[in-house]
Amino acid sequence: MWEAQELASRSLPYWDTLRPVWQLTTLMLEEKVMSGFLCGMLDRKSHHEIRAPFAARKSYWFEGKQNPTQEELWDLWDTIWRLKEVVKFGVFENKTDTDRALSGASVPAKSSPGLKSSGCGSKILINEDTLSILCSKTKPSDYSTTWIPGTDDASGLLRLRFQLATTLVHEIIHSLWYAHFGCSIEPFYRDHRFSELGWTREAMLYGGAIGPISYRVTIPYGLQIQDWPGQTRVVSYPHLLHYGAQPTKGAEFFPVPMDWLPKFFTQGFWDEVQRYGRAAFTCPRPPRSVRIVLKQASRTK
């Protein structure tokens, strides 16, 4: 997929900076736990209808395939590869504070063909500040206020690589859905309260939703993890349903340890993934956290 995109060109001077992002994204998509999730997501015949009283429209839930066959895995990888035919990549400009807090987005292109007759193409947009840092035009410390001990640029670059790979996987999942089923509402995964496939995948692997401290996509201060959907009550997604009891309005944030991130870029970690499966991805949570009470919590895509 990346070969068709300008940002993945080996001839560019920042190829060595971006290559770890493409490699990590690919490994995450090919990981067997992830493959089972995607196989179940795309097998619409296996989805179960949710019979909720007074529901305005039909909704469904699915389970991941526990042990996909080799044939199913090859079909899935071929499908992901063929996304290059229907998905385009772009950069969105930061015009508002909301934009500055948005790592990426997948936008359906209803007039473009998808991989199936019922699907459509899409465009994945990446925040311009993220790419500015990764392409060595700016540094993470350029986006931070004066603080002690200050923003370490090498650590900030590591966080950005991890977060961009996570964002790309998140948005590719949405693009896979668009390519097969167009703008139809995404299904719920098991008993998850929201039908949002990208965040569901992140919560399934990491044990929560990981994002920047202070919601700045340039991540000058570090990463945090919280339960997902956790406190989320109102969202702006046009194709999203939610069921079940509403949570309390409080949100509990835990810092993501910096020494947890480097392993994702080592062969030893992926050997552990082969041995231990999904447990290898779980983000450790320190004993101390920060709790925030909000009048109305929302999380935009």
pLDDT at 273: 92
| Tens-place pLDDT, residues 45-60 | 999 998 876 566 788 9
Is residue 238, in this structure, part of any structural domain at all? yes
Give me the DSSP letters along 33-67: HHHHHHHHHH-GGG-EE---TT-SS--EEE---SS
pLDDT at 15 over 50: yes
pLDDT at 249: 61
Is residue 201, in this structure, part of any structural domain at all? yes
Confirm if 171 and 139 have CB atoms less than 8 A apart: no
Closest CA to 239 of 197, 176, 192, 209: 197
In one letter, which amino acid is 33? V
pLDDT at 11: 61
Is residue 217, in this structure, part of any structural domain at all? yes
Domain count, the chain: 1
pLDDT at 4: 38
Expressed in angstroms, the distance from the first to the final Cα of the chain is 23
Is residue 230, in this structure, part of any structural domain at all? yes
Interhelix angle 70-82/153-181, rounded to 10 degrees, is 100
Structural domain including 259 reads: 2-293
Read off the pTM: 0.88
Across 19-23, 52-56, 195-199, 254-258, least confident range = 52-56
Residue with tokens 């795309």: 42
What would the two tokens of residue 241 be? 């349903």
Is residue 299, in this structure, part of any structural domain at all? no
| Tens-place pLDDT, residues 91-130 | 888 888 777 888 999 999 999 999 999 999 999 999 999 9
Q: How far is it, in rounded angstroms, from Cα 90 to Cα 2? A: 13
pLDDT at 296: 47
Give ∠ CA 207-208-214 in degrees, rounded to 5: 145
Is residue 133, in this structure, part of any structural domain at all? yes
* Of 41-50, 53-62, 227-236, 273-282, highest mean pLDDT: 41-50
Beta-carbon-side half-sphere exposure of residue 211 (alpha carbons within 13 Å): 22
- Mean pLDDT (the chain) is 85
Is residue 288, in this structure, part of any structural domain at all? yes
- DSSP letter at 238? S
Across 91-100, 208-217, 240-249, 262-271, least confident range = 240-249
Answer with the residue of higher pLDDT: 170 or 291: 170
Average pLDDT over residues 271-297: 80
Is residue 57, in this structure, part of any structural domain at all? yes
pLDDT at 6: 54
Q: How far is it, in rounded angstroms, from Cα 35 to Cα 41? A: 10
Closest CA to 66 of 278, 264, 275: 278
Q: How far is it, in rounded angstroms, from Cα 16 to Cα 23? A: 11
Residue with tokens 């956790």: 230
Residue with tokens 């935009």: 300
